[in-house]
Amino acid sequence: MTKRRLNAIEGNLSAAGKRFAVVVARFNSFITERLLQSAWDGLLRSGAAKKNIHIVRVPGAFEIPSAARTLAETDKYDAIICLGCLIRGDTAHYDVIVNEVTRGIGQSAQETGIPHAFGVLTCENLEQAIDRAGLKMGNKGFEAALAAVEMANLKKAVVGRWSLVVGKCNLPARKRKR
């Protein structure tokens, strides 16, 4: 029996011609710099031009959503990559920051329509952070870059398909003339 392939829309991993912003936290820079280097590598390997990758540094993870939102609202980028590292301490501060950063990045992506890749490590300890930034568990910065490329292409495929099939404008609702 032959398996029938489902009709699916997917993004590809070609970053050629796409523009990316990378928001990276300076706090825990010994981890975030490793994430940034791998994200940069992932974008270049996918075909992005160096001139189309803009890096924005923020003090810590809490500031990532605000910077990502500001960048997304410019409509200059096909995707935003958010990189940071939060390591659990002895207080509830970690839980509060993790929740706010996650919520803020997701809200920015949903409200602006620009894909945001989540490369913020949320770790129990330093060893776990090191593992996720290039040792035992690969590098989450590289994975976030590939997710951003794929989602930028998926958005283009969906918007292009919608405009061709239904005859609708492919601009975001906030840009359409009413």
Domain containing 163 — which CATH number? 3.40.50.960
Q: How many CB atoms lie within 10 A of CB 112?
A: 21
What are the angstrom distances between the C-alpha of 131 and each of 28, 39, 125?
A: 14, 16, 10
Domain that holds residue 79: 20-171
For 165, the enclosing helix (H) or strand (E) is helix 140-166
Class of residue 165 by CB neighbours under 10 A (exposed 0-12, middle 13-18, buried 19+) = exposed
The question of whether 54 is a catalytic residue gets the answer no
Q: How many CB atoms lie within 10 A of CB 82?
A: 29
Q: Which of 9-18, 112-121, 130-139, 154-163 has the lowest mean pLDDT?
A: 154-163
Pair 83, 32: CB distance under 8 Å: yes
Per-residue pLDDT tens for 140-149?
999 999 999 9
Marked catalytic residue, from 93, 168, 174, 176:
93
Residue 78 lies in a domain: yes
- Confidence class for position 163, pLDDT limits 50, 70, 90: low
The torsion defined by the Cα of 78, 69, 88 and 145, in degrees rounded to 10, comes to 10
Count of the separate structural domains present in the chain: 1
Residue 64 lies in a domain: yes
166 pLDDT more than 50? no
Per-residue pLDDT tens for 97-142?
999 999 999 999 999 999 999 999 999 999 999 999 987 778 999 9
